[in-house]
Chains A and B, each alone.
Chain A
């Protein structure tokens, strides 16, 4: 079976130790996480793990089964790239003199629709949000000028279809009241 990018989204209670529980599901099976992001979600007090892995669909399904089995996970899903809208953010720190001495770099920034976050006499910080490929393209253009620092975030993704988490939680509170 073919390995592909899968985005796994898990809606969870905020629980200390849950990250450990979820990451051990991957490490136990010797699967590398391409990226992992945790954040709040659209629902109050419900958190969201967004995990990207290169696996077969069968593996993705089993991973989601194991994740969902954890007590504090409300629901987990897996999606292929075409089923999600996803982005990553990168920050570049570069010497300020480049910005003033080299016109070219300003063109690169414009062309790649990157934002200057801050400028100090010594350095400036550039932010680029987009697909992995877009970030990499900009990286390749800027790298020859010398990067003082570079960092890229994990993927964040929104699915095209509905997640129905509120419904699950509503059903629970109706059943238990």
Chain B
């Protein structure tokens, strides 16, 4: 027992507040100054406090709760901080689900707060009662319902800790209305650990040494890196790693921008619409080094024929990802920032010039058959690729590009130039159409000094088009490019290739997008002729305000190369 000489640290800051005020104080304690949301009955006490604290905590009213989650995601991915979204119970909470699922599969740190009916009403099918804990369980890293005001500080602290630590992810906190009205003595202690949760597994020295030996002996090594490099803030360590060893590195779409796209060892994108070389050579390398990626099926194609000839090393933070889809020879567990640093001293530089030459050869073929005509067409309709080429010319790789889902997304990832990290924001794992517009709002607010350009298809744009209202009200200067092919292009492409051109419900009769944008008082423009494209993009990018640009592109063009579903990465088609 301790003898009490001095009273053990009386907290003078301790004050009696309502649960609702405690929610705000917790957010402020966590350094949050911006949240996205939509009010309603069960969360009104918190909104009332938001009003009182509006000088310290800015609330952005999106036009739909799904928009709030995507905006929070965009904010998190551009800033590296935890995104926060807030909504009411029932429909407000269920509208969160898509964004939460998206954040879960793409490992985005996010705290979602929902109001809930009073605890005495739980289980009575009360007005706007839904079991959001039950609904969100499979798509959250953690969730928790609070029914007592005094639990708010500890649960909120735990929520932020879990969302941002280890492999990040979304957390949902559901707070009953009586807990918001109740009172507590507020005291905030940031969470430093949860005893049943190991955020970062321990790295063994053997794994480092085994991996180093395999890498040093390799004749044809290849790296595939994913978002783990960005989430682990390991961009510098990663660059040192490839420069020290001279090993070519390919990326998954979530890894894109962790390494400059013009780095000589950056050999492009792997996966379904990735580059020819890295896909084919996946099945020729002798050592495959996977760094912070999870062997998604869109990356691996048919697993039975994926890199069977290679020894595989997996640098990974999440033990459940190791040996999940692909059996590996060496697993190096831990945060890649730490493990890459640990392995560096053991690595030597080898001469891979013949091996690198192969990547060049494939690149030349791809250039001649696909890329050149996509980026530099001289006749016909505007292509998506040439829009990207012009954007690259103006941004020099400094902008954040937020893409939606479909052909334009693949074209954006394939052709965008990036020289800064956290620049490619897209819905990867879930493929959520409607992601880009709200995510771009969040990205611009998370990185206000950067140019943020949303690139969206005419289909996905109309899934969250209401967020133009948020842009109008907040005046957030995002640039919106809609690549309009009057089709649900990616689905149409599959119908053309695999369903004998039966275009079932993929043709879109679209509204006048320019008029709609203008209705929200957003500067707007449309181009359909090549000669006007460059100046339209220049105008958009030089504006200090939000700007909408519709580009009418070739209606029935296809994204190539392509690995058809079920095919091997080395069977990638060029046409």
Binding site for B on A (CB under 8 A): 12-13, 16-17, 20-21, 24, 28, 61-62, 65-66, 68-69, 71-74, 169, 172-173, 175-176
CB neighbours of A20 from chain B (8 A): 134, 137
Interface check B485, CB cutoff 8 A? no
Smallest Cβ distance from B458 to chain A, in angstroms?
34
Smallest Cβ distance from A21 to chain B, in angstroms?
5
| B176-232 interface with A by 8 A CB criterion | 192-197
Interface centre among B144, B196, B324 (most CB of A within 10 A): B196
Stretch at the interface among B294-302, B315-323, B463-471: B315-323
Binding site for A on B (CB under 8 A): 133-134, 137-138, 141-145, 162, 192-197, 318-320, 322-324
CB neighbours of B134 from chain A (8 A): 17, 20
CA distance A62 to B321 in the complex (A): 9
Smallest Cβ distance from A173 to chain B, in angstroms?
7
Smallest Cβ distance from B192 to chain A, in angstroms?
6
Smallest Cβ distance from B172 to chain A, in angstroms?
11
Neighbour of B196 across the interface among A12, A17, A21, CB < 8 A:
A12
Known: A17-B134, A20-B134, A175-B193. A71 touches B319 (CB 8 A): no
Neighbour of B197 across the interface among A21, A61, A71, A175, CB < 8 A:
A71
Asked if B324 and A62 make an inter-chain contact with CB atoms under 8 angstroms apart, the answer reads: yes
Known: A24-B137, A24-B138. A65 touches B193 (CB 8 A): no
Asked if B197 and A65 make an inter-chain contact with CB atoms under 8 angstroms apart, the answer reads: no
Neighbour of A65 across the interface among B133, B141, B320, CB < 8 A:
B320
Smallest Cβ distance from B115 to chain A, in angstroms?
18
CB neighbours of B318 from chain A (8 A): 69
Asked if B320 and A62 make an inter-chain contact with CB atoms under 8 angstroms apart, the answer reads: yes
Known: A17-B134, A17-B143, A65-B320. A172 touches B193 (CB 8 A): yes
- Identify the closest chain A residue to B139 (Cβ): A24
- Identify the closest chain A residue to B138 (Cβ): A24
CA distance A65 to B323 in the complex (A): 10
Smallest Cβ distance from B82 to chain A, in angstroms?
16
CB neighbours of B320 from chain A (8 A): 62, 65-66, 68-69
CA distance A62 to B327 in the complex (A): 12
- Identify the closest chain B residue to A64 (Cβ): B320
CB neighbours of B143 from chain A (8 A): 17
Smallest Cβ distance from A72 to chain B, in angstroms?
5
- Identify the closest chain B residue to A21 (Cβ): B137
Asked if B195 and A74 make an inter-chain contact with CB atoms under 8 angstroms apart, the answer reads: yes
Q: Which 3 A-B pairs have the closest CB atoms?
A: A65-B320, A172-B195, A74-B196
Asked if B319 and A69 make an inter-chain contact with CB atoms under 8 angstroms apart, the answer reads: yes
- Identify the closest chain B residue to A61 (Cβ): B323
Asked if B195 and A16 make an inter-chain contact with CB atoms under 8 angstroms apart, the answer reads: no
Smallest Cβ distance from A135 to chain B, in angstroms?
34
CB neighbours of A172 from chain B (8 A): 193, 195
- Identify the closest chain A residue to B193 (Cβ): A176
CA distance A21 to B172 in the complex (A): 14
Asked if B142 and A71 make an inter-chain contact with CB atoms under 8 angstroms apart, the answer reads: yes
Asked if A71 and B194 make an inter-chain contact with CB atoms under 8 angstroms apart, the answer reads: yes
Interface centre among B193, B320, B324 (most CB of A within 10 A): B320
- Identify the closest chain A residue to B142 (Cβ): A71
Smallest Cβ distance from A17 to chain B, in angstroms?
6
CA distance A13 to B193 in the complex (A): 14
CB neighbours of B162 from chain A (8 A): 71
Smallest Cβ distance from A15 to chain B, in angstroms?
8
CB neighbours of A173 from chain B (8 A): 195
Smallest Cβ distance from A12 to chain B, in angstroms?
7
Asked if A169 and B195 make an inter-chain contact with CB atoms under 8 angstroms apart, the answer reads: yes
Smallest Cβ distance from B323 to chain A, in angstroms?
7
CA distance A17 to B197 in the complex (A): 16
CB neighbours of B144 from chain A (8 A): 17
Known: A17-B137, A24-B137, A61-B323. A71 touches B145 (CB 8 A): no
Asked if A65 and B324 make an inter-chain contact with CB atoms under 8 angstroms apart, the answer reads: yes
- Identify the closest chain A residue to B321 (Cβ): A65
| 16 A-B residue pairings within 8 Å (CB atoms) | A12-B196, A17-B133, A17-B137, A17-B145, A21-B137, A65-B324, A68-B320, A69-B318, A69-B319, A71-B141, A71-B162, A71-B197, A72-B196, A72-B197, A175-B193, A176-B192
CB neighbours of B142 from chain A (8 A): 71-72
Smallest Cβ distance from A67 to chain B, in angstroms?
9
CB neighbours of B138 from chain A (8 A): 21, 24, 28
- Identify the closest chain B residue to A173 (Cβ): B195
Known: A16-B145, A17-B134, A65-B324. A73 touches B319 (CB 8 A): no
Neighbour of B319 across the interface among A65, A74, A175, CB < 8 A:
A65
CB neighbours of A175 from chain B (8 A): 193
- Identify the closest chain B residue to A25 (Cβ): B138
- Identify the closest chain B residue to A20 (Cβ): B137
CB neighbours of B137 from chain A (8 A): 17, 20-21, 24
CB neighbours of B196 from chain A (8 A): 12-13, 71-74
- Identify the closest chain A residue to B195 (Cβ): A172
CA distance A45 to B30 in the complex (A): 30
CB neighbours of B133 from chain A (8 A): 16-17
- Identify the closest chain B residue to A171 (Cβ): B195
Known: A17-B134, A28-B138. A68 touches B319 (CB 8 A): yes
- Identify the closest chain B residue to A67 (Cβ): B320
- Identify the closest chain B residue to A176 (Cβ): B193
CA distance A13 to B138 in the complex (A): 18
CA distance A68 to B318 in the complex (A): 11
- Identify the closest chain A residue to B192 (Cβ): A176
CA distance A70 to B42 in the complex (A): 28
CB neighbours of A66 from chain B (8 A): 320
CB neighbours of B319 from chain A (8 A): 65, 68-69
CA distance A172 to B196 in the complex (A): 9
Smallest Cβ distance from B399 to chain A, in angstroms?
35
CA distance A65 to B322 in the complex (A): 9
CB neighbours of B192 from chain A (8 A): 176
- Identify the closest chain A residue to B140 (Cβ): A21
CB neighbours of A61 from chain B (8 A): 323
CA distance A69 to B145 in the complex (A): 20
CA distance A131 to B183 in the complex (A): 53
CB neighbours of B324 from chain A (8 A): 62, 65
Smallest Cβ distance from A151 to chain B, in angstroms?
27
CA distance A71 to B196 in the complex (A): 6
- Identify the closest chain A residue to B318 (Cβ): A69
